[in-house]
């Protein structure tokens, strides 16, 4: 608790563990074990890159920040947003959907990305030009499948919830990220309690 993490260090979280990590630019992470994570940040600018090697990470980032998320088969240019990213271990075959139902992962899938809210550009690992730009108002989720020509395969919302996002936003020491998008969704799609 309270330790300082330097740019370039590899962060490891134990199995069943969890860590909250905040940056000076008001970006905040929730890293879930068993996880391995690297980050390289600029001290003068709100930029840098992250690399998740294993586990999952939920990130809340101010809109003016610009970071690159490096994945085994793609890179994602984040333009200030909220996202969830997971690299599955060799023994992981299931995940939980938004309602808590257990879902089998498609065969051969090891990477998952959800643009919960905001903007992102998707690039193939060996290319500089984006092959897809996404604007998400509420959870655009994808399996990353390098066997497919377009790499991105639509997926359900897995292993993260709006309540976890709201909880993470509360940890921000600077201005809090906007939550109106969650409020709007809940007001529009709240289940009818019935008679």
**In percent, how much of the chain has pLDDT > 70?**
95
pLDDT score of 179 more than 80: yes
What value does the mean pLDDT take over residues 54-73? 88
Question: What is the helix (H) or strand (E) element at residue 48, kind and residue range?
Answer: strand 47-60
Residue written as token pair 């639509």: 154
- The pLDDT mean for the chain works out to 88
Q: Which residue ranges form the domains of the chain, and what is each CATH number?
A: 10-189 (2.60.120.1440)
Of 41-50, 161-170, 180-189, give the lowest mean pLDDT range. 41-50
167 pLDDT band (50/70/90 cuts)? very high
Of 82, 88, 90, 105, residue with least CA distance to 156: 105
Letter string b/e over residues 126-151, b meaning 16 or more CB atoms within 10 A of that residue's CB: eeeeeeeebebeebbbbbbbeeeeeb
CA distance 49 to 107: 29
What value does the mean pLDDT take over residues 67-75? 85
CA distance 144 to 74: 8
CA distance 135 to 97: 22
**Residue pLDDT, tens place only, 101-133:** 999 999 999 999 999 999 999 988 777 788 889
What per-residue confidence (pLDDT) applies to 192?
47
Of 38, 80, 31, residue with least CA distance to 56: 31
pLDDT score of 193 more than 60: no
30 pLDDT band (50/70/90 cuts)? very high
What per-residue confidence (pLDDT) applies to 190?
65
What per-residue confidence (pLDDT) applies to 67?
86
DSSP class of 97: B
195 pLDDT band (50/70/90 cuts)? very low
Q: How does DSSP assign 104-167, residue by residue?
A: EPPTT--EEEEEEEEEEEEEETT-SS-SEEEEESS-EEEEE-TTSTT-EEE---BS--HHHHHH
CA distance 24 to 44: 10
């Amino acid at each position: 608790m309270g330790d300082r993490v330097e740019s370039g260090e590899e962060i490891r979280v134990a199995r069943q563990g969890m860590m909250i990590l905040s940056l000076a630019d008001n970006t905040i992470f929730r890293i879930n074990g068993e996880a391995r994570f690297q980050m390289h940040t600029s001290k003068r600018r709100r930029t840098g890159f992250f690399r998740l090697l294993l586990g999952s990470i939920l990130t809340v980032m101010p809109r003016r920040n610009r970071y690159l998320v490096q994945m085994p088969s793609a890179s994602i240019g984040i333009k200030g947003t909220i996202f969830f990213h997971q690299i599955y271990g060799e023994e992981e075959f299931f995940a939980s959907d938004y309602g808590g139902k257990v879902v089998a992962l498609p065969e051969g899938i090891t990477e998952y990305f959800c643009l919960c809210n905001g903007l992102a550009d998707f690039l193939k690992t060996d290319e500089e030009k984006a092959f897809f730009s996404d604007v998400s108002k509420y959870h655009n989720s994808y399996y990353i499948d390098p066997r497919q020509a377009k790499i991105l395969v639509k997926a359900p919302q897995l292993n993260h919830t709006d309540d976890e996002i709201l909880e993470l936003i509360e940890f921000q020491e600077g201005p809090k990220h906007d939550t109106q998008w969650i409020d709007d969704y809940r007001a529009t799609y709240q289940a009818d309690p019935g008679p």
